[in-house]
Structure 1
Amino acid sequence: MSGVVPYVAGWVGFGFTVRVVALAIQQRPLLQKPMTHALSAAFFGGVGSYIYYLEQRQLELIQKRKHTLLENRKRKREYEEAKAKEHAMAA
């Protein structure tokens, strides 16, 4: 769980910064309507959380696929070695 907290905190900071920059571009007071800052931070925090868990699921799928490919290569190598021995014995 410790990996998700800094990740989400970074996205929360990004969301807050986006809101401040948007207000700065509009030349409005930077802390006007603080609830919008909180909503922006919460939204980006949710995005960060989603991305973190999406990345974890993808890494898990990649590991499963890697394991499957390695098992297939091992079986293919064993099959080819058996065929070579069989061919050598026949000759």
Structure 2
Amino acid sequence: MSLLANIAGFSIFGLAARLGQLGIQKRPLLSNPTGHLVSMGVFGFAGYWAYQWDVRAAELIAEKRSQIQEHRRKQIEAAENSGVEALAGEH
């Protein structure tokens, strides 16, 4: 998901939350547009943060996968070397 789509989606959710809040309070929905903008901005920032967190988590997962693959490769090499040494020692 792109950064813009993430921010826009969270902003729209923030607007919906604000409209729901005003609906519960039975206040006019368009009485204070500044409140709508603040709500959209706060939720948009949360969307930006969520996107950055997702990117960082993907980087950490890729890094950990490469570490695990390297560790497995070393274990396989060590097992193969010890097997060759055991066969050489039998003769």
Match of 2:74 in 1: 75
Give TM-score, length-normalised by structure 1.
0.96
1:34-73 equivalence runs, <5 A: 34-73=33-72
| Ranges of 4+ aligned residues in structure 1 off by more than 6 Å | none
Letter in 2 for 1:52: Y
Q: Across the two proteins, how many residue pairs are aligned to each other?
A: 90
Residues 1:30 and 2:32 aligned together: no
Gaps of 5+ in 2: none
Distance in 1 between the 2:68 and 2:61 partners?
10
The range that moved more, 21-30 or 2-11, is: 2-11
Gaps of 5+ in 1: none
CA apart distance, 1:31: 1.0
CA apart distance, 1:81: 0.3
SS at match of 1:32: coil
Percent of residue pairs bearing the same amino acid type: 31
Distance in 1 between the 2:35 and 2:80 partners?
67
Give TM-score, length-normalised by structure 2.
0.96
